[in-house]
Structure 1
Amino acid sequence: MQTISACMIVLNAEKTLAIALESLENVYEDLIIIDGGSTDSTCDIASHYGARIIHSEWSGDFSEQRNLYLREVKTDWVFIIDADEFVDNKTVELLRVVKDYEHKTNGDRFYIMRRWISPFSKRHYISSYPYNIDWQDRLFYFQKNLYYKDQVHERLIGHCFRDLEATVPHIYHLDLFLTDEKTRVEKVKKYRQKRPQNTEDANYLYLPNNNIILEEWNLDDDINHSVKLLLEKL
């Protein structure tokens, strides 16, 4: 049996943190949360789920925060989830399969597709470009030489991985549903300053136009009951 650390960085995430953690169904052996200075109930919620909370004042550098949890990992595998995301049952099943292997799987790193929940309805996700190709580097075999690079849209750097694409599991992203357009415009401005080369991608993702295509997903079958109840309260 192999072990998994679930890791995340948070800041005033009380609206969605329980959704993210409930979706994991306690599949991890260790939960490491880097808190950037929350003033709401974020840390209380994290403690309820047994998290090891490390306080690090938010500087605007995502890699800096993520590298803090990498220093704390003591397990075989690492799974990354953000506080405004949740996973479906198939992702939890993938994590359990990885844990059941006595040795490493055929790949060291799994890319998992992320679906962006519609700004208008929790029962729909955006199925048009560029949201329909949002592969996320979230599950990887841990080695001590790994580190993150770049302030935003950070990249995991280290050894050469044997990559696998997990085509069935999904991560669901609530950002567009939870934040208004003014907030997202400000986010794009910050990204433009920190990584000018990614400005176009940020515009596409956080400021969707009227031509987006929506697809309904089976909320009742794809996620566990606790997550469904928490989503209904949003």
Structure 2
Amino acid sequence: MIYIATGFAEFDIRLSSEIENSKVIFYRDFLRQTDDYSVVVISTFFDRHTNKEEDRSEFINLLFSLRARDKRVILLVDEDEREVLTSALALGIYDIVMYPAEVSDVVYRIKNPATFSSVKSLFEMLKVVEHVGFEDVLKVKDTFKERFKTRAEQECAKQSNMEDIKEKEVSEEVKTTGKDTFIQTGYEEDIKRILAGVLRFLGVKKIPSDIYEMLVLLEDSIADTYKK
């Protein structure tokens, strides 16, 4: 069952006519009191009483309640609602449709669950990563080729009996480049442990040792979870 709760009656009715096994609802407590649905299409205008901070906070609490019960949430939201967007991403809500939204946009998102890569730019724009300590991790894919280039250079140095000199140069480069270089031993091991824990939580049995392979596996696992 898919519940539709955007707060726009005409839009909800049109959307419901496009989606099988769906139902339009009108107040928040109904979502909390029933459990016969797996997906909810919801917007920040749903059951809104005021524009005050407490009303926004209540909406975020509702999102938390839905995710705590493993409900898939398709969220319609204005790009200016930064607090709601940040909270949604932190809760693992990636199916986000920005206003102005069309019925076809929502139908597409229901049929095609978003992946982490779909919202990566939002994570960076809203600085969500700074709150959870993954700022460097999200740069990994962008520096994938550079990392392997560095490895190749180091191997050549070893073969030409210049290992000690090369290691010293790499060490100095790491110190001067800071965030632009991911080779930070103290952080890499901590991040590996965090990623391994998340992967085990998602049911992955064989955990790779390479952090880049772990990130690719994490994205695939999240995508597979939404498909189910």
TM-score by length of 2: 0.27
Larger gyration radius, structure 1 or structure 2: 2
Higher helix share: 2
Q: What TM-score, normalized to structure 1?
A: 0.27
Larger strand fraction of residues? 1
